[in-house]
Amino acid sequence: PDASHRQPEDLMNMQHCNLLCLPENYQMKYYFYHGLSWPQLSYIAEDENGKIVGYVLAKM
C-alpha cells in the first residue's frame, strides 16, 4: 500500500521497525520528510495483523 494513505502512527511504526532491524537509525523527521516529499515512492509491508514488518523509502 502507498504510505501516503497511511496515518502518522504508521511512520512511528516504520521507525520502530528500523530500530529493531537495522544498525543505522534515523530521527522521526527523516520519515516525515520522505513521506511528505515523495509519498508515491514510500511503501510498507504488513503482516496479517497489520504490523509493519518492512518498508521502502525513496526520493527523487
pLDDT tens digits for range 8-50? 788 888 888 889 888 888 888 888 888 788 888 888 888 888 8
pTM (two decimals):
0.69
pLDDT at 59: 82
pLDDT at 5: 54
| Region for 32 from its dihedrals, namely left if φ exceeds 0, alpha if ψ lies in -120 to 50, beta otherwise | alpha
| Region for 9 from its dihedrals, namely left if φ exceeds 0, alpha if ψ lies in -120 to 50, beta otherwise | alpha
C-alpha cell at 60: 527523487
pLDDT at residue 3 tops 50: no
Handedness of CA 44, 17, 27, 58 (dihedral sign): negative
Domain 3-56 fold is Aminopeptidase (3.40.630)
